[in-house]
Structure 1
Amino acid sequence: MSAYDVVVVGSGPVGTAAARELADRAPDLRILVLEAGQVLGDVPGGHVKNIADPGAALAGLPAGAAPPPGATPARPGTALIGTPDMPNAAISTNVGGMGAHWTAACPRPGDDEVPGFLDPAVLDEALDRAEELLAVTTHAFDGAPLRDAVQQVLGEVFDQPERRPVGPMPVAVAASGDGSLHWTGPAVIAGDLWERGNVTLRAGTRATRIVTEGDRATGVEVVDVATGEREVVESRAVVVAADAFRTPQLLWVSGIRSAALGRYLNDQPQIMTASLLDDRYVTDEAPAKVSVSAASTPGGGAIIPLSGVSWVPYAAGRPFHGQVMQMDASPVKLDPGITVRPGQVVGLGWFCRKEVSAADRVWFDEDTPDEHGMPAIRVDYTLTDADQAAIAAAVEELRTAAKALGRPLGEPFVLPAGSSLHYQGTTRMGPADDGTSVCDPAGRVWGTANVFVGGNNVIPTATACNPTLTAVALAVITARALADLLEVSP
């Protein structure tokens, strides 16, 4: 039987950030990070777009093992949950979680996206730390020759007084001098974490239950995925950061079942379109300023440095935010007669704020075990009239933006529910244990002394911006609170 100070369940951006912040603040803590999946490629938690051969991303699977059901070469380790109300809902079972696959967009939340009960100074400092851990920058695409033209047009359409202006999207992407890109995966967050003597990463190990005595966790029951061997890992505290579906699932099977557990599920409706940039922006000379080659997009990345990534920020009176980027493969089929210069097709993706409702939820069917013997995940999820109105407004905005940039390529289309991968709310935080939240502002689960949760699922507000930066910032707050707790606990 092994013993640790902290067991972290989940090796995604949030689990890794919590472990890193804990280890930095309290180097003597013995920390175990559990991951049910395997390493993709050679680097634990590396982004798959940094792998020159995408097929090599499956190299970490056990010999003879097949990819997870629903996995694709573009996202090895991921699988669809398979639920009618949210048909594109996906989970990622690999070291690094969905952080090995994400688009690396890291906008800060604004206006009413920010939880009003959090101390603004504390949150701002945690967001600063999250940007440091994720290596966020707005300069990765400074040399993109089409970026300024795209942002000028978008600014003319959308900028208004008292709103954050159109600008470069903050991204967790580093650009080298030769134009090649390195995408932040949890490996960047970890740094030398896995080389420290007191921190252990165990891949291929699934957490099946938090062991409790009264209101206190004493350990985690785990199973070795390859051998089926079970054991209990003793721990002074537990942090569960296993995504918006499996985090509440693990709490549920552990008998930690607050009224809000699994409820307030928030998936941002996503609308897409594409536009063929006007020839006045795309000249024969402009694309030539950047070498477009395999070296610029290792692993077949979706962004090449011609127009970069532009951001149309969320505002309280405008219930969506947008990102515009050059695409190496348009989702819209082009007419055979259209000649396209490199970088001329841009994709526009708008994410909508969705009303928060307790009726939108994840729940667990104890009569139907999943392939791991856990209660099967079910989802209840509907769009309200206000949600439909926001989607309709976003469609109109996309039409306007696509036309302003050049030639719209078809009509904007709404992606199936779950496509955003920005699932939130199922273990939401709150200021009081009043039945509408699962954890306190530090991430500690109500009614427990030492069980903490992290992830996008902790975010309690209706948001439109990409949630990873916010979730990592909240994990920083959690890690600091937990370090203080363990310092004074026996």
Structure 2
Amino acid sequence: MTTRYPASVDVAIVGSGPTGAAYARILSEQAPDATIAMFEVGPTVSDPPGAHVKNIADPDERAHAQLLSEGPDAQDDGERVGGIVKTAARRARPGTYLLDAGYQVDGEDGLPVAAFSSNVGGMAAHWTGACPRPNDSERIGFLDAEGVLDELLSEGERLLGVTTGAFDASPHAPLVRGRLATAADEGREEHERVQRMPLAVHRRDDGQLVWSGSDVVLGEPTRANPNFTLHDESLVTRVLIEDGRAAGVQVTDLRSGESHEVHARFVVVAGDALRTPQLLWASGIRPAALGRYLNDQAQIVFAVRIRDFVPAAGSEGEARTGLSEYSGVTWVPFTDEMPFHGQVMQLDASPVALAEDDPAAPGSIVGLGLFCAKDLQESDRVEFSEDAVDGYGMPAMTLHYTLSAADHATIDRAKAEVVRLGTAIGEPLDDRPFMMPLGASLHYQGTTRMGETDDGDSVCGPDSQVWGVPGLFVAGNGVIPTSTACNPTLTSVALSVRGARSIASALASV
């Protein structure tokens, strides 16, 4: 870690989440002589930098790390646990903070709980680690046509440390999978059937399960790279452009308030799907599609209790991190016929508290979440102000977002389906499913979307380079151009791999 900025580097990366980390890792492996500087607006909250906060064993230390991640106005309001639970109230999950204004325009649905994290590792320090592959129309057709998408996804799985057997010791997970399979598998192809959720989770040498964060993506090749530096509490306010090409970044040291220019041959903006277009807009880089096609995944939740299964004595295991052996995550893949993605997990693995667990049968509360694919609309967008600013002094944003008739039909189908699947598992805790406030998925996409050609409907090309601005690349969930229901992190990391390879190739050719 260093707080002194270099005058120039080969590659400047804005954002330390999994996609920015993927650029640093691939460049460290394929262009080890390249100098790389990574800038993160938030502080370092875990050790190693970018590690998931759930791996912090002490609950008070974990809560403190979450608090530090909650933006420029972070404060402890005394409600440090839970999440958004059967209420329309605007309440953020620990480790995140809400957009304080502009989240809903009169007459529109808006994204009332649109949220961010500001910390080294980004949202990957707080996520649930689900890494399913996209299916059917979730896949990016022009990359499929090139025959490269699956290879990129495999490389993304390597970087994220994705496994499928982390929770094989869970006493309830096989029962849940079996009952779900009976209810859901008929008519599905093999790869679309109920299965273990691919998770960025691994087992430490001491036997404990831990979540992957950006630390895993960076890996030893990046940490051991003497040409790589990570600068926290560093706000990038502008991408520098010279002769029409990306030439570096302007960055403010939040500790001292001083502003610096760091010149670079390549710039990668790897923020979230709201702040990446914000930085481009603030830099005067405003292609027609910037901020448009914003999409979230409406989330329908339901909870059941398993009463007819008692785990064998001694199977509980002690959780010294934020995971226990009772956890289990099951996946019901998206299909075009059933346009939602199912994520089913025991209570202690869930980021949303749906009920109190049964102390007599730990792990017996099972939460079901169906994520719905959005009907993509150009009018769903994030706009930026010429005058007003946010807590970091960047252009304030306003979200325009409306559910279409097709979206409402999908949501109605998902409500019926989640009850059907939940009833197949156990005894419902409530009569009706609950739709989380829009924005709760934290899976915002589309605002810097990738396209095969520069047709005005995309911001970047197939290698993530911004149209018309050589040397400028975008990364993150905002790059995904399709309507997805599955968790997007694996796909966005895969797309980052392709972009990083493009930069590495360009560096090698000079």
Question: TM class, shorter-chain normalised?
Answer: over 0.9
**Amino acid in the other structure paired with 1:429:** M
Contact 2:65 2:95 in 1 (8 A): no
1:117 counterpart SS class: helix
Mark the CA change 1:370 to 1:3 in structure 2 (over 3 Å): closer, same or farther: same
State the distance in 2 between where 1:161 and 1:454 align.
36
Find out whether 1:4 has 2:9 as its counterpart.
yes
State the distance in 1 between where 2:120 and 2:356 align.
37
State the distance in 1 between where 2:396 and 2:41 align.
17
**Once the 2 structures are TM-superposed, how far is the Cα of residue 223 of structure 1 from its aligned partner?**
0.1
Residue in structure 1 matching 2:278, options 246, 249, 267: 249
State the distance in 2 between where 1:239 and 1:59 align.
27
Find out whether 1:322 has 2:338 as its counterpart.
no
5 Å-filtered alignment, 1:281-300, equals 282-283=309-310, 286=311, 288-295=313-320, 298-299=321-322
Find out whether 1:359 has 2:379 as its counterpart.
yes
1:126 counterpart SS class: helix
Contact 2:316 2:326 in 1 (8 A): no
- The answer for the alignment partner of 2:480 in structure 1 is 459
Find out whether 1:80 has 2:98 as its counterpart.
yes
Deviations 1:11-46 (A, max 9, x none): 000000111111111100000010011111332001
State the distance in 1 between where 2:354 and 2:469 align.
50
Contact 2:330 2:345 in 1 (8 A): yes
**Once the 2 structures are TM-superposed, how far is the Cα of residue 332 of structure 1 from its aligned partner?**
4.1
- The answer for the alignment partner of 1:474 in structure 2 is 495
Find out whether 1:20 has 2:25 as its counterpart.
yes
State the distance in 2 between where 1:426 and 1:172 align.
25
Find out whether 1:439 has 2:444 as its counterpart.
no
- The answer for the alignment partner of 1:146 in structure 2 is 172
- The answer for the alignment partner of 2:253 in structure 1 is 224
Mark the CA change 1:191 to 1:177 in structure 2 (over 3 Å): closer, same or farther: closer
Contact 2:135 2:334 in 1 (8 A): yes
Mark the CA change 1:36 to 1:307 in structure 2 (over 3 Å): closer, same or farther: closer
Deviations 1:347-372 (A, max 9, x none): 10110001111111111012211122
**Amino acid in the other structure paired with 1:182:** V
Find out whether 1:111 has 2:116 as its counterpart.
no
- The answer for the alignment partner of 1:375 in structure 2 is 395
- The answer for the alignment partner of 2:291 in structure 1 is 262
Mark the CA change 1:5 to 1:346 in structure 2 (over 3 Å): closer, same or farther: same
**Amino acid in the other structure paired with 2:116:** I
> Please, which runs of 5 or more residues in structure 1 have no aligned partner?
none
Find out whether 1:68 has 2:97 as its counterpart.
no
Deviations 1:71-115 (A, max 9, x none): 974666521113131111111110000000000000000111001
Deviations 1:372-422 (A, max 9, x none): 221101100011111111111111011111111111111210000110010
Higher mean Cα deviation, 172-181 or 99-108? 172-181
Mark the CA change 1:342 to 1:371 in structure 2 (over 3 Å): closer, same or farther: closer
Between the two proteins, the alignment pairs up a number of residues equal to 476
Contact 2:176 2:425 in 1 (8 A): yes
State the distance in 1 between where 2:271 and 2:264 align.
17
**Once the 2 structures are TM-superposed, how far is the Cα of residue 342 of structure 1 from its aligned partner?**
1.4
State the distance in 1 between where 2:400 and 2:327 align.
39
State the distance in 1 between where 2:449 and 2:228 align.
28
State the distance in 2 between where 1:291 and 1:417 align.
36
**Once the 2 structures are TM-superposed, how far is the Cα of residue 481 of structure 1 from its aligned partner?**
0.8
Mark the CA change 1:220 to 1:66 in structure 2 (over 3 Å): closer, same or farther: closer
Residue in structure 2 matching 1:174, options 191, 198, 202: 202
Mark the CA change 1:385 to 1:289 in structure 2 (over 3 Å): closer, same or farther: farther
Mark the CA change 1:443 to 1:339 in structure 2 (over 3 Å): closer, same or farther: closer
Contact 1:39 1:61 in 2 (8 A): no
Residue in structure 1 matching 2:306, options 271, 277, 291: 277
Find out whether 1:488 has 2:509 as its counterpart.
yes
State the distance in 1 between where 2:360 and 2:302 align.
17
State the distance in 1 between where 2:80 and 2:269 align.
28
State the distance in 1 between where 2:205 and 2:182 align.
32
Residue in structure 2 matching 1:48, options 43, 49, 53: 53
> Please, which runs of 5 or more residues in structure 2 have no aligned partner?
1-5, 82-92, 105-109
**Once the 2 structures are TM-superposed, how far is the Cα of residue 177 of structure 1 from its aligned partner?**
7.5
Mark the CA change 1:179 to 1:37 in structure 2 (over 3 Å): closer, same or farther: same
State the distance in 2 between where 1:60 and 1:157 align.
38
Mark the CA change 1:413 to 1:366 in structure 2 (over 3 Å): closer, same or farther: same
**Amino acid in the other structure paired with 1:471:** S
- TM-score of the superposition, structure 1-length normalised? 0.92
- The answer for the alignment partner of 1:186 in structure 2 is 214
**Once the 2 structures are TM-superposed, how far is the Cα of residue 290 of structure 1 from its aligned partner?**
2.2
- The answer for the alignment partner of 1:429 in structure 2 is 450
Find out whether 1:96 has 2:96 as its counterpart.
no
**Once the 2 structures are TM-superposed, how far is the Cα of residue 132 of structure 1 from its aligned partner?**
0.7
Mark the CA change 1:215 to 1:160 in structure 2 (over 3 Å): closer, same or farther: farther
State the distance in 1 between where 2:445 and 2:354 align.
29
State the distance in 1 between where 2:307 and 2:164 align.
25
Find out whether 1:405 has 2:425 as its counterpart.
yes
Contact 1:38 1:93 in 2 (8 A): yes
1:22 counterpart SS class: helix
- The answer for the alignment partner of 2:156 in structure 1 is 130
Find out whether 1:37 has 2:55 as its counterpart.
no
1:378 counterpart SS class: strand
State the distance in 2 between where 1:368 and 1:92 align.
21
- TM-score of the superposition, structure 2-length normalised? 0.89
**Amino acid in the other structure paired with 2:129:** A
**Amino acid in the other structure paired with 1:323:** Q
Contact 1:54 1:73 in 2 (8 A): no
- The answer for the alignment partner of 1:238 in structure 2 is 267
- The answer for the alignment partner of 1:418 in structure 2 is 439
Contact 1:261 1:438 in 2 (8 A): yes
State the distance in 2 between where 1:60 and 1:341 align.
29
Identity %: 50
**Once the 2 structures are TM-superposed, how far is the Cα of residue 59 of structure 1 from its aligned partner?**
6.0
**Once the 2 structures are TM-superposed, how far is the Cα of residue 227 of structure 1 from its aligned partner?**
1.0
